[in-house]
Amino acid sequence: MRSFWFFLDKLQDYMRIGSAFCIIAMAGITCCDVFLRTTFNYPIFGSEEIVSVFALLAMGLSLPYAHKQGVHIGVEIFIRLFSNKVQYGVKLITNTLSLILMSIISWRMFIFAGAKAQSGESSMNLELPMYYFAYVLSICFLIFSISILKDILLFFTQPQKAVGDNKTR
């Protein structure tokens, strides 16, 4: 099981690199589009679609790593007032509900992508098949769900790491 978690951690690191690439590509395309539009009056055709796709990929690819680092927004100011036992319980309930929600989102996104693939729907300008990106996003949510499951399992095996700074993992 330890090798699977190691693989998951490496996968999250690669997804973070992919997310960073998407953000850099978004900035590059936007800058080139603005430069070409103002200088030569020749915009990049479909730049809005490309930037939108990169934004979608950046968001999906960054979710598991953000969870691993514990940088999601939380209401910790209020929770820190309670005892460790209550904090553990809140963390377990939150992770369990998050696991259920993200698993459902991954499953429904996969079904949505299949429906888009059958209908042959594509983007308006560039006619990109959008179902590919829905499949990628579904896989990202699946990996995010597995990351949450790892935290739930760690809660029962190492409860001292269940609350507090996730960066110690």
Number of folded domains that form the chain: 1
Note the pLDDT of residue 143. 97
pLDDT one digit per residue (tens) for the chain, 169 residues: 789 999 999 999 999 999 999 999 999 999 999 999 999 999 999 999 999 999 999 999 999 999 988 887 766 778 888 888 888 898 899 999 999 999 999 999 999 999 999 999 999 999 999 999 999 999 999 999 999 999 999 988 886 655 544 444 4
pLDDT at 52: 95
> Residue 161 has what pLDDT?
58
Question: Would you list the DSSP string of 36-97?
Answer: HHHHSS-PPTTHHHHHHHHHHHHHHHHHHHHHHHT-S---HHHHTTS-HHHHHHHHHHHHHH
At 160 the pLDDT is 61
Q: What is the pTM of this model?
A: 0.87
pLDDT given for residue 88 in this prediction: 87
Domain membership of residue 25 as a residue range: 2-168
- 94 near 67, Cβ under 8 Å? no
